[in-house]
């Protein structure tokens, strides 16, 4: 499987170093089928067997917990102050 095919399967861009994907359809091990350098952050379905998250570098309960700066990406912009 090429990197482009692996990235398409894992919803990542080639060379980005970070995979996203539907954890209900595949486990963490499936997110890096051929590129061991890729980091895996999972937001699994609560009903997914915890064994399926083994191999993930980080497991989150919600995307709201994701902090891109932990992965060498720029931080999200600050939220505007309420009016």
**Does residue 83 form part of some domain?**
no
Q: What is the pLDDT of residue 81?
A: 86
pLDDT band at 2 (very low <50, low <70, confident <90, very high): very low
Domain region containing 17 = 3-63
Tens-digit pLDDT profile for residues 31-76? 555 556 778 899 999 899 989 888 899 999 999 999 999 999 999 9
More confident residue, 16 or 43: 43
Q: What is the 3-state secondary structure (H, E, C) of the chain?
A: CCHHHHHHHHCCCCCCCEECCCCCCCCHHHHCCCCCCCEEEECCCCCCCHHHHCCCCEECCCHHHCCHHHHCCCCCCCCCCCC
Whole-prediction pTM value? 0.56
Q: Based on the structure, what is the number of domains in the chain? A: 1
């Amino acid at each position: 499987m090429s990197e482009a095919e692996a990235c398409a399967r894992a919803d990542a861009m080639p060379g980005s170093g970070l995979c996203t994907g539907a954890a209900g359809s595949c486990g963490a091990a499936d997110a890096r089928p051929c590129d061991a350098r890729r980091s895996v952050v999972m937001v699994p379905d609560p009903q997914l067997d915890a064994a399926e998250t083994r191999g993930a570098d980080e497991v989150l309960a919600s995307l709201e917990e994701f902090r891109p700066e932990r992965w060498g990406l720029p931080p999200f912009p600050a939220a505007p102050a309420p009016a």
